[in-house]
């Protein structure tokens, strides 16, 4: 999605960057420590490319509007349920804050509510724009696929508004091995966290690793129906 807002020339460079670093991120043979410097390089180069080519907020929104990006099947059912119960819900992403919000706005515009519910929060890499609507930098700590943990949550508005220190359970969903660490640093016991992993491809190679990190692993680009069933059980 980032590359689609860049224009054809820069999009080619972005694709080359992706093709270089994505296999490293997905490798089942490299350790987190071995991957870490490459992930920092990947994200930094991509952000620098966006600044260099003056990506605008309008271009980001247009790229989302014209894209065929779809939410995982069952997303709306789960988020409606969480909204009704007023459960603090966090989309914690190493992507771009503005892209995620544009996707949410696009999808919720099709619903009776028209806008995302107030219980939904986003923490991600936030672009900083100048007076001409061009990106000139990024605010806050760089969030990449291997450093998504509590250090990026504490002292945020999400943390303060939701009073997370008073909560006793976490339902964590993720599709990368690094996502299993998103609750690291929070004052929760292991039996107070349920981790559900989505292994979209490469199950033969990566399933054992995912089962070590997640309590449940859903394969083959699974829908969110199993998560919805779990939430209904919790309700009862």
Q: What is the mean pLDDT of the chain?
A: 90
Phi, psi values for residue 89, rounded to 5°: -125, 120
Residue 165 has pLDDT above 80, yes or no: no
For each of the domains in the chain, give its residue range(s) and CATH number, in order of start: 3-235 (3.40.50.1000)
Q: Is-contact 199 206, C-beta < 8 A?
A: yes
Q: State how far the Cα of 96 lies from the Cα of 149, in Å rounded to an integer.
A: 17
pLDDT for the residue numbered 103:
95
* pLDDT tens column, 61-91: 998 999 888 899 999 999 999 999 999 999 9
What is d(CA 215, CA 53) in angstroms, rounded to the nearest whole number?
42
| pLDDT, position 6 | 63
Q: Under a CB-based contact definition with an 8 Å cutoff, are residues 82 and 89 in contact?
A: yes
Q: What is the mean pLDDT of residues 47-72?
A: 91
pLDDT bin (cut points 50, 70, 90) of residue 5 is low
pTM value is 0.88
**Is residue 102 within 8 Å of residue 109, measured between CB atoms?**
no
**Does residue 8 surpass a pLDDT of 90?**
no
Q: What is the pLDDT of residue 154?
A: 76
Taking only the tens place, the pLDDT of each residue in 94-145 is 999 999 999 999 999 999 999 999 999 999 999 999 999 999 999 988 999 8
């Amino acid at each position: 999605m980032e590359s689609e807002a860049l224009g054809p020339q820069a999009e080619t460079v972005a694709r080359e960057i992706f093709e270089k670093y994505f296999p490293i991120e997905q490798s089942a043979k490299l350790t987190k420590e071995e991957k870490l410097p490459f992930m920092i390089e990947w994200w930094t180069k991509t952000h620098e490319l966006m600044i260099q080519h003056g990506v605008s907020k309008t271009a980001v929104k247009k790229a989302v509007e014209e894209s065929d990006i779809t939410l995982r099947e069952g997303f709306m059912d789960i988020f409606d349920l969480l909204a009704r119960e007023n459960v603090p819900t966090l989309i914690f992403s190493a992507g771009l804050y503005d892209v995620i919000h544009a996707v949410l706005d696009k999808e919720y515009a099709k619903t009776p509510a028209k806008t995302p519910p107030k219980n939904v929060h986003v923490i991600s890499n936030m672009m900083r724009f100048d007076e001409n609507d061009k990106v000139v930098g990024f605010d806050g700590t760089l969030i990449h696929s291997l450093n998504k943990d509590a250090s990026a949550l504490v002292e945020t508005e999400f943390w303060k508004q939701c009073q997370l220190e008073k909560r006793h359970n976490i339902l964590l969903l993720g599709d990368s091995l690094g996502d299993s660490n998103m609750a690291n640093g929070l004052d929760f016991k292991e039996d107070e966290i349920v981790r559900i992993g989505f292994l979209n491809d490469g199950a033969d190679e990566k399933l054992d690793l995912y089962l070590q990190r997640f309590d449940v692993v859903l394969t083959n680009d699974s829908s969110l129906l199993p998560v919805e069933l779990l939430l209904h059980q919790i309700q009862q």
